[in-house]
């Protein structure tokens, strides 16, 4: 645990009373309607400044010209096949990125919609890999207020009137949304975010005598694998009348039949009113997607109570041709505050025509007594039960396990959200309170920790209900049986003989040229459990469209391990399966223009694919990642950390053969026999523009840690011979590493003789981070660890704008930023959080929080660059970002893991488990045997629940 009160004098806590009057806060002090003290805040009239994208220098551009030409050609080739390249630096979004994001809606893996801090719904990610950033401005909450006697009336959209999404020109005779009352200034209205909830407080706007709190709630509930998959959100309005007269208040929720972009104009969309149980009623909006994508159904609803009356308008349009225009709808609400009850009997609307926008509205009306309070609740749900990838694979989303695949499931989701949200909030508060009430933690850290989790919803996540790639998912039962029957070697034989069984595909055109080896790709028992949690994908970033990018997952995975550990274990199983497979299709690598095979046996893939995940891995094709030096060690380290943290023996059994294969694969990179792996003079690791020569501090440290982790895991699973092998290599490699890289103060960037070989790399102790996180003995003496971290802190952190930017990746020992390449001069947000976690493990708490605070200051603070809820991969000294909404910043949960390590990890250092590995005499090197794997099988019962076949 963190000792003492870190930075107790720092300002970076924003008490709500600085944004809302104390009297207003007291009025909302019930039913969770007041925002918590620990929340990220903005005034609604804050300007959403445009963000500045990174630029390469002239020198970098010259170096990258050939790569740029090859990428441009590849992007065009993919587009000709109707596909989007996973990395496309040439296509720009029509909506320029701005500092406007807020907490996204819904649970994980069922499509997402973000909501800006000023109330606009944006960043639509319903279709896999497709992100429509522009807001749909007709999706709004509005309010209509009239006092008894009719003397005072107010009608306003609950979003600032000066909004760039509305455009600059408004015609007085417009029949669309510009005819609505966009008269909220936002000066006295504030937004408060603590993911997965957000509060918007209108302190006397638009009615000076009415205080309004709207809290947004989504079902992101750690360890709850059912409700955390639901595509639904609730908006609970608390109304407090401070006047002397009764107030009739009508709240209006409008929604367009759209999934963002121009999808509203494609035609054939239909709206239909519905009434459910418990007073829940609303409108279903059936959206027919383009390009053969599965349909989407939205539901907007409100809950009728004794004091609240609900009415609907199933359809209205934005043009003069509409039978009911947006202007007429607004006029109706201004006059009556509600719609006609007969609308519930109208049935489905006529399908919309191409070019027409079809919208719906739900109104909830109530009387609020003088000095009285009232609550009105709305819900939004969407149902897109099928996930279809570009190359044809189709899956059912996780929530369909509980709600089915009917297009009307959206109504049930909207109903359950309105009837269950109180319980959701109780569970969310129970989860968050220990952190929020920990006085030893800085205030900025508390809300940044939770708010960075936005990515698990808005990061293009997909969660399917099927445990494996079963035959019905592939629509090709014969092929799956063919793969099953074609496996002719047992796992033990593969691991000892290192042979490959080659299976040629002849039935699936996707694999006509494929060479696929390894074990059964459709073993339905792999993921079975008392309550199977399905399979999970999330993007590297909304600009880098690759699923579960593994070198980045290394940093981000702490969040899943902490909050949804069974998802984390299943991701590791996916990669374990991948290690033991080979895909022989030829791929052109764009950095050098050379060709190689897509997936090599024994190599950990860079990612699980883009257009056909799980089947077509390694969508990344800049470099040949089978030659990368960090992926395999990262796999071993993550697997051991997860194994040690969860204590799941079956998981260890499932993945062990892949761990051993991954370690043996790396032997080829130890070319001088010193036990260390060498880099190959190109960017062969996660820093994929930063060249490495010889032994590198980053990959070498990861390798040392992986040797230790593999040795200990082998011992714990009964493979004693391999444990001895790894220990021997470790004992040989460690002194070689220190001799080649330790310079008395820190570890040099690499052992080469280039101009940056002596650079100070922020990430030089990544392997030690995982060693400490896994309860393993430290790789180096404490004095060396602290010396290296102190050097990074003094140079990479504090020499960059006084520590207000995070840690720059590379710094020369003369105090100048290493500008060898684009990435050496960047601050990587996730790496900075990982560095801070390493410092916490080393007992350098103050340095850790100062380091991480730089990310908060540059990205999240009011004086920062505006990266909230879209934290990028990187930024430069002048505030230019690269790759918004990126996976790696989830590494802040590595800090929390370091603060609150599991009991098993805390107790592990008491015994140096490496000392339990006794080395036996070796004659002629080491020999492989098959007893180790069989011992594991006996220990766990059998391999019946494993991806690996067993002959017990």
191 phi, psi to nearest 5 deg: -115, 135
**In angstroms, what CA-CA distances link 674 with 130, 421, 667, 725, 728?**
47, 59, 11, 14, 11
So what's the pLDDT on residue 30? 78
How far apart CA 919 and CA 922 sit, in angstroms, is 9
Residue 163 pLDDT: 63
Q: Could you identify the residue written with the tokens 């360890």?
A: 223
Alpha-carbon distance 849 to 590, whole Å?
Answer: 39
Cβ-based neighbours of 800, under 8 Å, separated by 6 or more: 806, 807, 808, 817, 827, 854, 877
Residue 390: per-residue pLDDT? 92
Q: For residue 481, is pLDDT > 90?
A: no
Least confident of 435-444, 745-754, 918-927: 918-927
Residues 477, 617, 64: CA angle, nearest 5 degrees: 155
**Six token digits for residue 901:** 């390590």
Helices (H) and strands (E) counted in the chain, each on its own, are 24, 31
14-48+95-162+174-459 classified as CATH 1.20.58.220: no
243 and 147 Cβ atoms separated by less than 8 Å: yes
Domain with CATH 1.50.10.10 in the chain: 533-914
Over residues 51-65, mean pLDDT: 87
The Cβ of residue 141 has, within 10 Å, a number of other Cβ atoms equal to 18
Q: Are 125 and 115 in contact (CB under 8 A)?
A: no
Summarised one tens digit per residue, pLDDT across range 285-310 is: 999 998 889 999 999 999 999 999 99
pLDDT greater than 70 at residue 168: no
List pLDDT tens digits, range 229-259. 999 999 999 999 999 999 999 999 999 999 9
Q: How confident is the model at residue 553 (pLDDT cuts 50, 70, 90)?
A: very high
Distance CA 867, CA 865 (A): 6
With H, G, I as helix, E, B as strand and everything else as coil, classify residue 228: helix
Residue 837's SS3 state is helix
Which band of pLDDT confidence, cut at 50, 70 and 90, is reported for residue 952?
Answer: very low
Dihedrals phi, psi of 375, to nearest 5 degrees: -120, 135
Fold topology of 533-914: Glycosyltransferase (1.50.10)
Closest alpha carbon to 236 in 376, 139, 117: 376
Residues 6+ positions from 101 with CB-CB distance below 8 Å: 114, 116, 117, 122, 123, 868, 869, 870
Beta bridge partners of 462: 110, 537
| Residue limits of CATH 2.70.98.10 in the chain | 14-48+95-162+174-459
Q: Which pLDDT score is estimated for 772?
A: 97
Residue 474: its pLDDT value, please?
32
Tell me the three-class secondary structure of 55-72, residue by residue.
CCCHHHHHHCHHHHHHHH
First-residue to last-residue Cα distance in the chain? 45
> What pLDDT was estimated at residue 12?
57
Full 3-state SS string of 518-552: CCCCCCCCCCCCCCCCCEEECECECCECCECCHHH
- pLDDT band for position 172 (cuts 50, 70, 90): low
Looking at residues 839-848, what average pLDDT do you find? 98
Q: Cα dihedral sign for 301, 306, 309, 314?
A: positive
Q: In this predicted model, what pLDDT tens digit does every residue of 844-895 receive, in sequence order?
A: 999 999 999 999 999 999 889 999 999 999 999 989 999 999 999 999 999 9
pLDDT of 164 higher than 90: no
Strands (E), 163-278: 189-194, 197-203, 210-217, 232-241, 247-256, 270-275
User: What would the mean pLDDT of 791-802 be, rounded to a whole number?
Assistant: 97
Query: Is the link from the previous residue into 305 a cis peptide, with omega within 30 of 0?
Result: no
Q: What is the mean pLDDT of the segment spanning 553-581? A: 97
- SS3 at position 375: strand
Average pLDDT, integer, range 6-20:
63
């Amino acid at each position: 645990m963190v000792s003492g009160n870190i930075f107790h004098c720092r300002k970076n806590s924003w008490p709500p009373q600085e944004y809302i009057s104390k009297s207003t806060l007291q009025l909302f002090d019930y039913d969770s309607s007041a925002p918590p003290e620990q929340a990220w805040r903005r005034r609604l009239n804050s300007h959403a400044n445009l963000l500045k994208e990174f630029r390469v220098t002239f020198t970098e551009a010259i170096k990258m010209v050939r790569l740029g030409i090859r990428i441009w050609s590849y992007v065009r080739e993919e587009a000709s096949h109707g596909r989007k390249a996973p990395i496309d630096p040439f296509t720009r979004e029509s909506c320029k990125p701005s500092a406007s994001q807020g907490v996204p809606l819904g649970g994980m893996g069922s499509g997402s919609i973000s909501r800006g801090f000023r109330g606009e719904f944006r960043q639509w990610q319903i279709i896999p890999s497709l992100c429509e950033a522009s807001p749909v401005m007709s999706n709004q909450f509005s309010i209509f207020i009239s006092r008894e006697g009719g003397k005072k009336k107010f009608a306003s959209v609950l979003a600032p009137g000066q909004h760039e999404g509305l455009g600059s020109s408004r015609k007085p005779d417009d029949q669309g949304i510009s005819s609505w009352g966009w008269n909220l200034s936002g000066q006295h209205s504030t937004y408060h975010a603590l993911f997965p909830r957000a509060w918007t407080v209108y302190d006397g706007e638009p009615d000076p005598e009415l205080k309004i709190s709207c809290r947004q709630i989504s079902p992101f509930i750690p360890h709850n694998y059912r409700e955390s998959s639901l595509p639904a959100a609730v908006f609970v309005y608390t109304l407090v009348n401070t006047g002397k007269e009764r107030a009739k208040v009508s709240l209006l929720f409008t929604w367009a039949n759209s999934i963002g972009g121009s999808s509203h104009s494609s035609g054939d969309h239909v709206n239909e009113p519905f009434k459910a149980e418990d007073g829940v009623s609303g409108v279903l909006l059936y959206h027919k997607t383009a390009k053969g994508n599965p349909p989407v159904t939205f539901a907007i609803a409100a809950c009728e109570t004794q004091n609240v009356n609900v009415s609907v308008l199933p359809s209205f349009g934005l043009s003069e041709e509409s039978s009911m225009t947006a202007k007429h709808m607004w006029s109706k609400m201004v006059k009556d505050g509600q719609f006609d009850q007969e609308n519930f009997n109208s049935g489905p609307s006529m399908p919309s025509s191409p070019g027409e926008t079809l919208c719906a509205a739900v109104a909830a009306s109530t009387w609020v007594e003088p000095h009285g309070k009232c609550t009105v609740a709305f819900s939004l749900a969407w149902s897109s039960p099928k996930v279809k990838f570009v190359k044809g694979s189709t899956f059912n989303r996780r929530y369909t396990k509980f709600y089915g695949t009917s297009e009307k499931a959206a109504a049930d989701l909207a109903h359950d959200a309105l009837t269950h949200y109180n319980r959701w909030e109780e569970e969310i508060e129970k989860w968050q309170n220990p952190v929020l009430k920990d006085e030893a933690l800085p205030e900025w850290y508390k809300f940044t920790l939770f708010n960075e989790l936005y990515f698990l919803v808005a990061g293009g996540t997909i969660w399917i209900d099927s445990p494996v790639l079963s035959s019905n998912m592939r629509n090709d039962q014969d092929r799956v049986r063919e793969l099953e029957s074609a496996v002719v070697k047992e796992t033990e034989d593969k691991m000892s003989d290192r042979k490959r069984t080659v299976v040629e595909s002849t039935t699936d055109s996707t694999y006509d040229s494929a060479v696929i080896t390894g074990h059964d790709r459709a073993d339905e028992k792999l993921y079975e459990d008392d309550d199977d949690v399905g399979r999970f994908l999330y993007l590297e970033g909304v600009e880098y469209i690759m699923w579960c990018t593994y070198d980045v997952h290394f940093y981000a995975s702490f969040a899943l391990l902490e909050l949804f550990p069974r998802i984390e274990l299943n991701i590791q199983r996916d990669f374990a399966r991948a290690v033991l497979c080979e895909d022989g299709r030829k791929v052109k690598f764009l950095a050098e223009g050379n060709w190689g095979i897509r997936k090599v046996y024994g190599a950990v893939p860079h990612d699980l694919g883009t257009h056909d995940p799980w089947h077509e891995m390694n969508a990344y094709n800049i470099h040949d990642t089978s030659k990368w030096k960090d992926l395999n060690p990262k796999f071993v380290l993550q697997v051991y950390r997860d194994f040690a943290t969860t204590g799941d023996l079956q998981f260890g059994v499932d993945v062990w053969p892949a761990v051993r294969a991954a370690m043996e694969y790396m032997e080829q990179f130890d070319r001088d026999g010193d036990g260390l792996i060498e880099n190959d003079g190109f960017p062969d690791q996660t820093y994929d523009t930063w060249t490495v020569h010889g032994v590198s501090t980053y990959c070498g440290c990861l390798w040392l840690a992986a040797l230790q982790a593999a040795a200990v895991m082998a011992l714990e699973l009964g493979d004693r011979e391999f444990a001895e092998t790894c220990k021997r290599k470790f004992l040989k490699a460690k002194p070689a590493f220190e001799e080649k890289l330790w310079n008395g103060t820190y570890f040099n960037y690499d052992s080469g003789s280039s101009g940056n070989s002596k650079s100070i790399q922020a990430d030089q102790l990544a392997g030690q981070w995982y060693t400490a996180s896994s309860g393993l003995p430290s790789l180096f003496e404490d004095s060396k660890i602290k010396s290296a971290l102190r050097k990074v802190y003094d140079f990479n952190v504090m020499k960059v704008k006084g520590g207000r930017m995070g840690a720059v990746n590379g710094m020369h020992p003369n105090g100048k930023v290493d500008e060898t390449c684009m990435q050496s001069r960047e601050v990587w947000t996730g790496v900075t959080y990982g560095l801070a976690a390493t410092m916490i493990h080393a007992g350098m708490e103050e340095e850790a929080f100062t380091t991480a605070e730089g990310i908060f200051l540059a990205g999240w603070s009011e004086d920062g660059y505006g990266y909230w809820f879209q934290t990028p991969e990187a930024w430069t000294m002048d505030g230019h970002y690269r790759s918004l909404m990126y996976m790696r910043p989830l590494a802040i949960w590595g800090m929390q893991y370091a603060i609150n390590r599991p009991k098993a990890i805390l107790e592990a250092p008491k015994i140096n488990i490496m000392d339990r590995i006794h080395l036996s005499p070796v004659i002629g090197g080491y020999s492989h045997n098959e007893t180790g794997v069989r011992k594991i099988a006996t220990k766990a019962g059998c391999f019946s629940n494993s991806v690996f076949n067993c002959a017990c």
